[in-house]
Structures are given as C-alpha cells and as structure tokens.
C-alpha cells in the first residue's frame, strides 16, 4: 500500500521446525525460516546480501539478530538489527532495542525497547567501519568521584 515494497520471499535454505531447540549462535545464508527456538544470536553471513530471516508465530529467539531483511511474527528476546528492512507482523513481540533502515509494523506488534532509525546501518556493517557517532567512555575513577 502506498508504494511500500514487501520483502521478496527468498528461497528458504534452512528450516528450524517446531519442537526443535538450538542452543548456540546460528549463521545462515539465503533464507532461514524459524518455527522452533534458538537460544543464541542469529545472523546472516557477510556475503549473504539477500538473506531473509522469517520468524513464525511459533518461533522464538533468545539472543541478538543481525540481518538485512527480517519478517518477525514470533518472539525475540534480544536486540534486532535490520540493515535493510524489518517487517513486524501482528503477533511479533520484541523485548530489546530495534535498529532498522525501513520498518513495516502491523497493528498488534509489540516492541519493548528503543527504536533507532539508522539508514546507514547497511553501509557501516558492510564496510566494517566504526559508527560515526561520538561515543564518550567514562574513566572508572571519574565515575567513582562523582
């Protein structure tokens, strides 16, 4: 609607079915469809530009998500970084911060955390450069003094 582009369904190369629990980080290429549980971080491989993560309403991730494209209808307990587009369906539940370039959010979806629109996320991640934001680190002695 209004010219919005849906994430093209990429070929699903990996399926984590309902009743399957993976403990540890998952790194994938192509398409990953999650009906089960992942207790660890989920990320697309650096060379997988068109990689798509689909989390069904039965799917759950307990860890951070780093992908270009994501369609979430399940639960994520952790931060979500979508460098291209993030689609949140009606049953999506995210407990963590969300960083995105484009966001499509259906009525009923929930985010319990901060949302950050970051149009440069794709280029920063691909170039492996540090963010351009100014970050100030406090010296522990300065914190103790006051």
- Decide if 94 is inside a domain: yes
Query: Which residues form the domain of 77?
Result: 12-145
- Decide if 6 is inside a domain: no
Alpha-carbon distance of 37 to 22, in angstroms, equals 6
- Decide if 1 is inside a domain: no
- Decide if 73 is inside a domain: yes
Q: Per residue of the chain (146 residues), what is the pLDDT tens digit?
A: 444 555 555 578 899 999 999 999 999 999 999 999 999 999 998 655 779 999 999 999 999 999 999 999 999 999 999 999 999 999 999 999 999 999 999 999 999 999 999 887 554 444 444 443 434 444 444 444 44
- Decide if 23 is inside a domain: yes
8 Å CB contact between 54 and 36: no
- Decide if 3 is inside a domain: no
- Decide if 5 is inside a domain: no
**Count of domains for the chain:** 1
Who's near 70: CB < 8 A, 6+ residues apart? 52, 53, 54, 55, 80, 82, 85, 86, 87
């Amino acid at each position: 609607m209004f010219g919005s582009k849906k994430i093209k369904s990429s070929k699903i190369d990996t399926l984590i079915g309902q009743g399957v629990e993976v403990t540890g980080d998952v790194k994938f290429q192509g398409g990953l469809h999650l009906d089960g549980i992942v207790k660890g971080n989920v990320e697309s491989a650096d060379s997988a530009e068109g990689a798509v993560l689909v989390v069904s309403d039965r799917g759950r991730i307990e860890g951070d998500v780093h992908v270009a494209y994501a369609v979430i209808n399940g639960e994520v307990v952790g931060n979500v970084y979508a460098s291209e587009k993030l689609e949140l369906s009606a049953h999506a539940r995210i407990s963590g911060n969300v960083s995105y370039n484009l966001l499509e959010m259906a009525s009923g979806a929930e985010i319990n955390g901060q949302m950050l629109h970051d149009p440069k996320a794709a280029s920063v991640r691909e170039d492996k450069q540090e963010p351009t934001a100014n970050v100030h680190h406090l010296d522990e002695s300065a914190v103790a003094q006051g």
